């Protein structure tokens, strides 16, 4: 497999492409042969990424705008069709943080994060999948269509100071699964990645980069995104990956921890207490629907950098 030209001629749209992870993904996709439609808020940062792609011999156009606006999602697909004749790949990455404990969070802080992350993923997905459905019906067969969404381990851990962000990222996983199920017949393959990357958005959480190679550099995430966007992505859909440093971890679906049945055929409160009381004995109680298994991944690799 020629990684350098893995996606030669394909058209990819990347949101949040002005900086950080989105910029790194756009540059990696361009290096793999993609023609790019770049979205972010208007400004020099977005134009600068497009200039870097063109300077390296690639093709890129910009489609600035608020990713959560209906008109932006529509314009993103229209720009891809106008500039390059179609769209093959959608990488959703745009996001913001408004960290606060739930009891201190304002209405605006909640709405802003849910809007940019979850609504932003939905808006672009809505127009991209409509485009692919139309093309598939016209061709009478599935088309080449890839979506790579950006979730976070925050949804697995229930990040205490990020209830808005954790909720949005959990919603993105659900959106990814629903898209994979609902649009697979048209050729759409939809997956989500949970990256750990040191960017302007996460810098305060992760601290400064170490001297020398940074195991949490955004570039460590881009090979998986490129792979899922490529031909091998045909076999992968409705999956969630954790990716950082030297790690790619494929998450399993939630499991049933235990099942209980009413002996009389209908539950009563006393019978529920008899069944569930012996299970929940911690005092104080500990959150149960939490997955901390991802935390030790690659601890030997970047543990020193985070101390």
Return the number of other C-beta atoms located less than 10 Å from residue 58's C-beta.
19
Number of H helices, E strands in the chain: 11, 8
- Cα 132 from chain centroid (whole Å): 20
Is 144 an active-site residue?
no
Q: Among residues 152, 186, 227, 245, which one is catalytic? A: 152
- Give the bridge partners for 22, in sequence order: none
Is 8 an active-site residue?
no
Q: Among residues 136, 144, 169, 245, which one is catalytic? A: 169
* Residue 243: closest CA among 206, 276, 216: 216
Which phi-psi region, left, alpha or beta, contains residue 43 (left: φ > 0; alpha: ψ -120 to 50)?
left
* Residue 63: closest CA among 18, 117, 106: 18
Characterize the bridge pairing of strands 240-244 and 247-250.
antiparallel
Is 137 an active-site residue?
no
Show the beta-strand stretches assigned E in 35-118.
35-39, 59-62, 89-91
Q: Among residues 165, 186, 227, 245, which one is catalytic? A: 165
Return the number of other C-beta atoms located less than 10 Å from residue 280's C-beta.
10
Buried/exposed 282-297: b ≥16 CB within 10 Å, e otherwise: eeeeeeeeeeeebeeb
CA angle 74, 78, 83 (to 5 degrees): 150
Backbone angles phi, psi at 242, to 5 degrees: -100, 135
Which amino acids are annotated catalytic?
152, 165, 169
């Amino acid at each position: 497999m020629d990684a350098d030209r893995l996606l030669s001629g394909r058209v990819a749209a990347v949101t949040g492409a002005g900086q950080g992870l989105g910029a790194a993904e756009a540059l990696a996709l361009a290096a793999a042969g993609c023609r790019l439609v770049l979205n972010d808020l208007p400004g020099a940062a977005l134009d600068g990424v497009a200039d870097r792609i063109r300077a390296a011999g690639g093709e890129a156009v910009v489609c600035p705008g608020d990713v959560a606006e209906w008109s932006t999602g529509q314009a993103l697909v229209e720009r891809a069709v106008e500039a390059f004749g179609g769209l093959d790949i959608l990488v959703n990455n745009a996001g913001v943080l408004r960290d606060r404990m739930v009891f201190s969070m304002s209405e605006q802080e909640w709405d802003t994060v849910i809007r940019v992350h979850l609504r932003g993923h939905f808006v672009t997905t809505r127009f991209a999948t409509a485009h692919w459905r139309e093309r598939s019906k016209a061709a009478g067969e599935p088309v080449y269509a890839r979506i790579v969404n950006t979730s976070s381990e925050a949804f697995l851990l229930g990040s205490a100071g990020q209830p808005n962000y954790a909720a949005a990222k959990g919603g993105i996983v659900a959106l990814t699964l629903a898209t994979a199920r609902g649009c697979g017949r048209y050729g759409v393959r939809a997956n989500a990645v949970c990256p750990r990357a040191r960017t302007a958005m996460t810098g305060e959480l992760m601290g400064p980069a170490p001297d020398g190679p940074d195991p949490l550099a955004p570039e460590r995430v881009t090979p998986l995104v490129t792979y899922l966007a490529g031909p091998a992505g045909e076999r992968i859909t409705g999956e969630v990956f954790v990716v950082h440093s030297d790690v790619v971890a494929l998450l399993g679906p939630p499991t049933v921890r235990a099942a209980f049945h009413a002996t009389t055929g209908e539950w009563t409160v006393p019978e529920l207490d008899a069944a569930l009381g012996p299970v929940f004995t911690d005092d104080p109680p500990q959150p149960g629907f939490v997955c901390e298994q991802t935390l030790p991944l690659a601890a030997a690799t970047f543990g020193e950098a985070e101390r």
